[in-house]
A and B are shown apart, each in its own frame.
Chain A
Amino acid sequence: GAVVSQHPSRVICKSGTSVKIECRSLDFQATTMFWYRQFPKQSLMLMATSNEGSKATYEQGVEKDKFLINHASLTLSTLTVTSAHPEDSSFYICSALDRRGSEKLFFGSGTQLSVL
């Protein structure tokens, strides 16, 4: 079946540094990918929709200059958390839309970001 690979699975960084998270669709082309954030014991909150070859669409309250999204190819989207601060510590999950057949959404395994 379709697989979405997300890397890294865990990252610890110092405050002020930038962190890049990659999301790859391994056996299908994903023109649309989504980035979510999950705080402990809370739901998945959509941060932005990433469309290949165009600018990402950010949800209300999400700083686009802080969370840079690049969807440069049909199989790769990246989320860069710039100048990370402790309040950015969270679990970030990407998903990719497989438009073949019934348009299923497949999720990556997530990235646990801890900012010291």
Chain B
Amino acid sequence: DQQVKQNSPSLSVQEGRISILNCDYTNSMFDYFLWYKKYPAEGPTFLISISSIKDKNEDGRFTVFLNKSAKHLSLHIVPSQPGDSAVYFCAARVRNAGNMLTFGGGTRLMVKP
């Protein structure tokens, strides 16, 4: 049973426009969420995170929104740049449970010039 789901395997966006990547989860014990960016043959790099006590966290071009009632989070990238093209993973963690992350399946973002 996948506890973290990214239902869109890929997304194509024009440069300068907004990219919205979505993530849904089922485990109500998750209280910390993270987004990672991954290039081929490289390890993921941390992008942005959000605690369950917040509904929004912003860092430059990246904003993460959390809707706890819907068990849904999204990553907004604006404006999108060609260098943002990568696979984006959302991940969730149950605090005080060994810091293990549960990853979604990833969404491949392609930003076209």
Contacts and interface: CB of A to CB of B under 8 A. Distances in A.
A93 interface: yes
9 contacts: A43-B89, A43-B106, A46-B100, A49-B100, A105-B34, A107-B36, A107-B44, A107-B45, A110-B42
Interface of B: 9, 34, 36, 41-46, 89, 98-106
Count class of interface residues, chain A: 20 to 34
Contacts of B105: 42-43
A110 B41 contact: yes
A112 B40 CA distance: 11
Main secondary structure of the interface of B (DSSP, over half): loop
Given A91-B41, A104-B46, A110-B41, A44 B89 contact: yes
Main secondary structure of the interface of A (DSSP, over half): strand
A6 interface: yes
Among B9, B34, B43, B102, chain A packs the most CB atoms within 10 A around the CB of B43
Contacts of B36: 107
A6 B43 contact: yes
Interface of A: 4, 6, 9, 32, 34, 41-46, 49, 57, 91, 93-95, 97, 103-110, 112
A32 to B, nearest CB: 6
Contact of B101 (A4, A41, A105, A109): A105
Contact of B42 (A43, A105, A109): A109
A34 B103 CA distance: 13
A44 B98 contact: no
A107 B41 CA distance: 12
A116 B34 CA distance: 36
